[in-house]
Amino acid sequence: MAGYILKRLFSAIPVLLGISIIVFLIMAMIPGDPATAILGSYATPENVEKLNRDLGLDKPLVQRYFIWLGNMLQGDFGRSFSLNRAVLDEVMERFNATLILAGTSFVICSVLGVAAGVVSAARQYGLADKAITFAVLLGISIPSFFLGMMMILIFAVNLRWFPVSGMWPIYGARDLSALLSHLTLPASALAVVATGVIARLSRSAMLEVMRQDFIRTARAKGVHERSVIWRHALRAAMVSIIPVLGIQAGFVLSGAVYIEMVFQWPGVGRMLVDAILKRDILLVQGGVVFVAACYVMFNIAVDVAQGLLDPRIKT
Amino acid sequence: MKLMELTRRALLASTAAFALGLGVLPAQAQTPEDVLIVGQIAEPKALDPAAVTAVNDFRILMNVYDGLVRYKDGTLEVEPALATDWSISDDGTVYTFNLRNGVTFHDGSAFNAEAVKFNFDRMLDEGHPYHDTGPFPLAFFFSAVEAVEVVDPLTVKFTLNAPYAPFLSNLAYPTGLIVSPAAVAKHGSEFGRNPSGTGPFKFAEWRSNEAVVVEANADYWGGAPELQAVVFRPITDANTRTAEMLAGGIDLMVEVPPVALSEFQGDGFTVHEQAGPHVWFLILNAKEGPFADVRVRQAANYAINKEAIVNDVLEGTAAVAAGPTPPAFAWAYNDSLEPYPYNPDKARELIAAAGAEGAELTFYVTEGGSGMLDPVAMGTAIQADLEAVGLDVKIETYEWNTFLGEVNPGLEGKADMAEMAWMTNDPDTLPFLALRTDAWPDKGGFNSGYYSNPKVDELLEAARASTDQAERARLYQEMQTIVQEDAPWVFVANWKQNAVTSDRVGDFSLQPSFFLLLDDVTKN
């Protein structure tokens, strides 16, 4: 197992190098440069040239890439010019906020999605199945940013149960209950689509397993139906559900971009959108590489978990 | 069956628990008294006035710092601030300021002539020990400054390399705000996050992406402010900003989207409006194609229904522009100028006379951008108006930074017209950079449509060099008449800045400078 993990970690290196080259090239190729973005109306060629020199953007492309890469390997991601702050500090802080949002959302969609899928499969074509299938279809079909705006309108503006936006209260204690009240709406809005997808796939995975012989055997032995479903069948179905969870974790992470915009959650998605609009090259590059690295690590963890769950998957 | 029962029971129980939980949830708390929460449009870049360029950042800075001079309340004319008075040499190149006595920065250090010299040297002198706390993108506002000399602790002398009338106005701009040299020395490149000025509010706390908090400066030389503190919250999404305002999470909101204004018509809110030094126009390519003929340029001005654009597309958040200079520059504005009326018949006649019927035009439209209002909807309305008088308009849409990269180097060989908007702090900058022959793109200016009229060049040069305001006004008014007739642009709209306050906020008014001044504001 340790050898497998090590092998996977090594294989991540070319992936990350590739990502760093792609994001660097994209930022170099997109029209509009940081100096123009900063100067706006005042971007005369003379002013742009001077500012580019001040920002260190007058060097050749290849040289800039290796300077950036070299610094990054030493843990120096550079300085964001749009926020006037070290890129790594900003990215870590923002990523933390995204993890709280996406993590909560991921827990919600995994638990609800798998539970709904199991119930649906256990009651195939029954009332519960039909109700769940309908709700799932509805959930998958509503764009999350629209759902987010509607939730703000209903639960924050009209009913005033939850705050409209942000992660912490402007005044008052920064405790768990303050965080939860800010987290409820965005985490729910973000979880809806993923819950639907997971529920659908869990249902079919469960149906597949429940047709197999060992389930019939368990039932014949007189094992309680609840135990058949939740212990025997679900455990077997998890092997095909877990990769889906892994993929959904990626979707939740990328879906967080919209939700962070709508709810003004101070996460890494909103940071990247702002940074791209301002052509904050180092912040975009550093942010993307960092998020990609986390995503790669997460996938490795999922694969390892799958291996642990099902010894047949050879490492 | 068991499973189903269990689920049903569990579902019922959890629903009941959820409903109960929500029922006992307290309504969200009100914002505290004497603390004003302002909904800003973005996270500030830095609180170092020399290093920033965005109006969003200026809104905070104007409350933390003072300049030598400032704009008189409700106008764009300068009055004393940290300087009590000044004299200008006869040739217009030497400005001597007498400074206010007994003023200290928030960090306790003294404000004096040395501090003023430090501020301008830091920005302008590449050899200055703290020049590396930049970059200072707007330092060129003061590129005419040759030297800053300390005459005595309370007198400072600026020597310019040539007469430059906008100098005083630029001093009132945020780039001219005075920072504490001691704080710059202490914090270096982190000064932008640890600001210290002389203004009515002093910096308290910056929580990244959440809030910038400033507290009342009880020792302010102009008298302590009414509020105890102001919290600036960055809320980039306009819909979310509107929702926060409706829910009571903020007390003051700037840049209300036109479509949201109707939400605030009720008793709980006051909508504020103020015309600013802004003009939205179309650059016409006067070098080649149909717009090389002045009659077709005038025809475009007649053909476009500007009333419909400001009332229907912009929901009344802008006024129809008459010429190149915004009316907010009251002293320099030519009141006798009437906007081109909407007259499609006249437009058709002019186009026929010029033989340009059915001409194909390429129109650059941006998706957004600073001061661009609602550029896509406006571009589409303009396209429809021009097609109605027989011009064939093809729109090309670009993201803002890409758009600037296409338009600023000039429209030649690419397009016939492009959207543009400018906001300046004096009536000099825009025409000087965008209407002179010497401001064609190849000469480093923004005259992307290649307009050229020697008389206009002459008037603009003279107006910028003169220090006599009456003389400057006369020159600018004459320039506006000529430019309106020559129609190098289609003059479309002057934006009215807006803001909404809740009924707890008192004594608030918007400034034509678009800055946010909060020292007299109250909240209960």
Closest Cβ opposite residue B370 in set A40, A126, A149: A40
B37: contact with A, CB 8 A cutoff: yes
Nearest Cα to B177, choosing from B343, B87, B65? Answer: B65
Closest-CA distance of chain A to residue B240, Å: 6
Same domain, B316 and B454: yes
The pairing of strands B505-506 and B417-423 is unpaired
What local confidence, expressed as pLDDT, does residue B14 receive?
52
HSE-CB at B494 with a 13 A cutoff on CA atoms is 22
B263 part of a folded domain: no
What local confidence, expressed as pLDDT, does residue A313 receive?
67
Distance CA B449, CA B202 (A): 45
Which domain does B90 fall in, by range?
A: 66-186
Contact B211 A42 (CB under 8 A): no
Closest-CA distance of chain A to residue B294, Å: 26
Same domain, B344 and B411: yes
Burial of B26 (0-12, 13-18, 19+ CB in 10 A): exposed
What local confidence, expressed as pLDDT, does residue B23 receive?
45
Contacts of A101 (CB under 8 A, 6+ apart): A183, A186, A187, A190, A256, A259, A260, A265, A267
Residue B183's alpha-carbon distances to B77, B194, B199, B312, in angstroms, are: 31, 8, 15, 50
Contact B208 A166 (CB under 8 A): no
Reported as a single tens digit per residue, the pLDDT across A41-99 is 677 777 778 788 877 788 888 888 998 899 888 888 888 877 878 899 889 989 999 99
B24 part of a folded domain: no
Contact B4 A128 (CB under 8 A): yes
What local confidence, expressed as pLDDT, does residue A169 receive?
87
Distance CA A172, CA A217 (A): 59
Distance CA A155, CA A153 (A): 6
Closest-CA distance of chain A to residue B249, Å: 8
What local confidence, expressed as pLDDT, does residue B24 receive?
45
What local confidence, expressed as pLDDT, does residue B28 receive?
56
Helix, strand, or coil (residue B43) = coil
Instruction: For the beta carbon of residue A141, count every other beta carbon within 10 angstroms.
Output: 10
Between residues A4 and B289, the one the model is more confident about = B289
Distance CA A204, CA A230 (A): 15
Distance CA A287, CA A91 (A): 6
Same domain, B296 and B221: no
Distance CA B139, CA B124 (A): 7
Distance CA B463, CA B479 (A): 10
Distance CA A87, CA B109 (A): 32
CATH, residue B321: 3.10.105.10
Same domain, B133 and B172: yes
HSE-CB at B196 with a 13 A cutoff on CA atoms is 22
DSSP secondary structure letter of residue B445: S
Nearest Cα to A23, choosing from A297, A253, A254, A275? Answer: A275
Closest-CA residue of B relative to A115 is B7
CATH, residue B56: 3.40.190.10
B306 part of a folded domain: yes
Contact A38 B247 (CB under 8 A): no
B151 part of a folded domain: yes
- Indicate the residue type of A160: R
Same domain, B229 and B151: no
The token pair at B361 is 């035009």
CATH, residue B126: 3.90.76.10
B351 part of a folded domain: yes
Same domain, B405 and B331: yes
B171 part of a folded domain: yes
Give the sign of the dihedral formed by CA B8, CA B14, CA B17, CA B22: negative
Closest-CA residue of A relative to B22 is A161
The answer to whether residue A192 scores a pLDDT higher than 50 is: yes
Same domain, B433 and B371: yes
Q: What is the pTM of this model?
A: 0.83
pLDDT per residue of chain B (524 residues) written in tens, 0 to 9 = 344 444 555 555 555 445 444 444 545 556 788 999 999 988 888 899 998 888 889 999 999 999 999 999 988 889 999 999 999 998 889 999 999 999 999 999 999 999 999 999 999 998 999 998 878 888 888 989 999 999 999 999 999 999 998 899 999 999 999 999 999 999 998 899 999 999 999 999 998 888 999 999 999 999 999 999 999 999 988 889 999 999 989 999 998 888 888 889 888 899 999 888 999 999 999 999 999 999 999 999 999 999 999 999 998 899 999 999 999 998 999 999 999 999 999 999 999 999 999 999 999 999 888 788 889 999 999 999 999 999 999 999 998 878 888 898 899 999 999 999 998 888 998 999 899 999 998 887 889 999 999 999 999 999 988 888 899 999 999 999 999 999 999 999 999 988 999 999 999 999 988 889 999 999 98
Contact A264 B445 (CB under 8 A): no
B108 part of a folded domain: yes
Closest Cβ opposite residue B239 in set A149, A163, A224: A149
Query: Which DSSP helix (H) or strand (E) runs through A282?
Result: helix A281-309
What local confidence, expressed as pLDDT, does residue A39 receive?
75
Contacts of B143 (CB under 8 A, 6+ apart): B124
The answer to whether residue A151 scores a pLDDT higher than 90 is: yes
Nearest Cα to B348, choosing from B278, B298, B313, B397? Answer: B298
B193: contact with A, CB 8 A cutoff: yes
- List, in sequence order, every beta strand (DSSP E) within B90-220: 94-99, 145-152, 155-160, 201-207, 211-216
Q: How confident is the model at residue A251 (pLDDT cuts 50, 70, 90)?
A: confident
- Mean pLDDT score of chain A, rounded to an integer? 87
Same domain, B215 and B320: no
Closest-CA distance of chain A to residue B522, Å: 19
Helix, strand, or coil (residue B366) = strand
Contacts of B18 (CB under 8 A, 6+ apart): none
Distance CA B152, CA B113 (A): 7
What local confidence, expressed as pLDDT, does residue B363 receive?
97
Q: Mind spelling out the 3-state secondary structure of A22-84? A: HHHHHHHHCCCCHHHHHHHHHCCHHHHHHHHHHCCCCCCHHHHHHHHHHHHHCCCCCEECCCC
DSSP secondary structure letter of residue B305: -
Contact B192 A264 (CB under 8 A): no
The answer to whether residue A148 scores a pLDDT higher than 90 is: yes
Specify the number of domains making up chain B.
3
The answer to whether residue A253 scores a pLDDT higher than 70 is: yes
The answer to whether residue A315 scores a pLDDT higher than 60 is: no
Q: Stretch A284-310: mean pLDDT, rounded?
A: 84
What local confidence, expressed as pLDDT, does residue B360 receive?
95
Between residues A60 and A180, the one the model is more confident about = A180
Contact A170 B210 (CB under 8 A): yes
Closest-CA distance of chain B to residue A109, Å: 17
What local confidence, expressed as pLDDT, does residue A2 receive?
79
| List of chain B residues whose C-beta atoms are within 8 Å of the C-beta of residue A166 | 210, 233
Same domain, B298 and B391: yes
Distance CA B295, CA A272 (A): 47
Nearest Cα to A51, choosing from B53, B43, B54, B422? Answer: B53
What local confidence, expressed as pLDDT, does residue A291 receive?
86
Same domain, B43 and B114: no
Alpha helix (H) residue ranges in B125-213: 167-172, 181-187
Same domain, B510 and B492: no
Q: Which of residues 341-380 of B touch A (CB under 8 A)?
A: 369-371
Closest-CA distance of chain B to residue A5, Å: 37
Between residues B184 and A280, the one the model is more confident about = B184
Q: Which of residues 113-172 of B touch A (CB under 8 A)?
A: 134-135, 137-138, 140
Same domain, B388 and B444: yes
B267 part of a folded domain: no
